[in-house]
């Protein structure tokens, strides 16, 4: 994995190859940031599951595999986002989808974009 660092004062970039252990740490930090972003969105919309924080606390200690996202997950995404913007508890109403959101970065990113579009269209 390559790490790119931008130095604004000089306008230069530095690219370094991270050792494997650092690559894993870097990936976990990015993953945690994205999950935190999802949590923040859902909290603001009153859609974060009641047990969501306990579930997140267990994730680093467990080794579970969530099913991969399907075409149907992407088809349902606008309806799920609409429900979430209305305040539906995503963990209670869509537990399998919620689990996939936590486990799959691409689905999570796309869902956050979908939420943003629904919030913007409701303003």
Listed by start position, the domains of the chain span 26-122
Would you give the distance in Å from CA 10 to the centre of its chain? Answer: 33
Which tens digits make up the pLDDT trace of 4-40?
Answer: 454 555 555 555 554 544 444 544 555 678 888 888 9
Stated pTM of the model: 0.67
Q: Which of 46, 44, 52, 115 is nearest to 79 (CA)?
A: 115
pLDDT tens by residue, 34-76: 888 888 988 888 888 888 888 777 766 555 667 889 999 999 9
- Asked if residues 112 and 38 have their Cβ atoms less than 8 Å apart, the reply is yes
């Amino acid at each position: 994995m390559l790490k790119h660092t931008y130095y604004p004062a000089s306008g230069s970039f530095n690219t370094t190859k991270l050792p494997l252990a650092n690559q894993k740490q870097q990936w976990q930090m990015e993953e945690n940031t994205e999950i935190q972003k999802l949590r923040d969105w859902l909290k603001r919309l009153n859609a974060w599951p009641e047990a969501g924080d306990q579930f997140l606390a267990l994730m680093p200690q467990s080794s579970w595999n969530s099913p991969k996202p399907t075409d149907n997950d992407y088809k349902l995404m606008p309806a799920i986002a609409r429900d979430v913007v209305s305040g539906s508890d995503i963990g209670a109403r869509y537990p399998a989808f919620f689990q996939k959101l936590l486990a799959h970065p691409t689905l999570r990113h796309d869902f956050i974009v979908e939420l943003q579009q629904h919030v913007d269209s409701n303003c």
